[in-house]
Amino acid sequence: MLSIFLGPLIFFIGVTLLFLLVPRKDISRFWDIGLVGGLGISFVLTYLMHNVFGFWNFVGGDIIIYGIPLCLAAVWMPLVMIYSYWVSKSSNLYQIAGVIAGFALLATAAHWYYVTQGMLIFVRWSVFYTFILAVAIHIALLYYLYASKQITGMHHS
């Protein structure tokens, strides 16, 4: 079993990437969506998938409370802020689709890694379902960014 420090390490990497990839003014601009759309959704989703539906069971690599790996869930706050920044800078639907696909693949790869390392056990779940769920969540985040007028200058080509 992996060290309990893997989750905090991944969180540290996520925060570091945030500060490297997103200008400071945009970090404050996307703070709310990071908090609600990243941290909030991650905690609620992980709680539901573990405690209510029984699809996931995190068993190591992080500090786990009520089935929620705290740092692995919290890393979605900076990642959603990076996602929001990149989507807001995308100039067409193809770029946005690429960003959505990239982040969905990142979530899928993370789950695959956790499963292969024995940190995550799937029950009636698969990495394919993770990919579909991640695409849906990132489309919902995109809708919020569009509805709140944080996406400008987008074309259909």
Tens digits of per-residue pLDDT, 118-149? 889 999 999 999 999 999 999 999 999 999 88
> What tokens were used for 47?
């709680």
Higher pLDDT, residue 148 or 14: 14
Residue with tokens 């995109």: 142
pLDDT, position 4: 77
Run of H or E residues at 56 = strand 56-58
Of residues 12, 119, 30, 115, the one with CA closest to residue 71: 12
User: What's the mean per-residue pLDDT of the chain?
Assistant: 92
What residue segments make up the domains of the chain, in order of their start?
Answer: 6-147
128 residue type, one letter: F
* 8 A C-beta contact, residue 144 and residue 80: no
SS3 content of the chain, % helix, strand, coil (to 5): 70, 10, 25
What DSSP string runs through 79-135? HHHHHHHHHHH--BHHHHHHHHHHHHHHHHHHHHHHHHTTSEEESS--HHHHHHHHH
Q: Report residue 151 as tokens.
A: 């996406």
Read off the pLDDT of residues 24-62 as tens digits, 9 standing for 90 and up: 999 999 999 999 999 999 999 999 999 999 999 999 889
Would you state the pLDDT for residue 157?
A: 47
Residue 156 has pLDDT above 60, yes or no: no
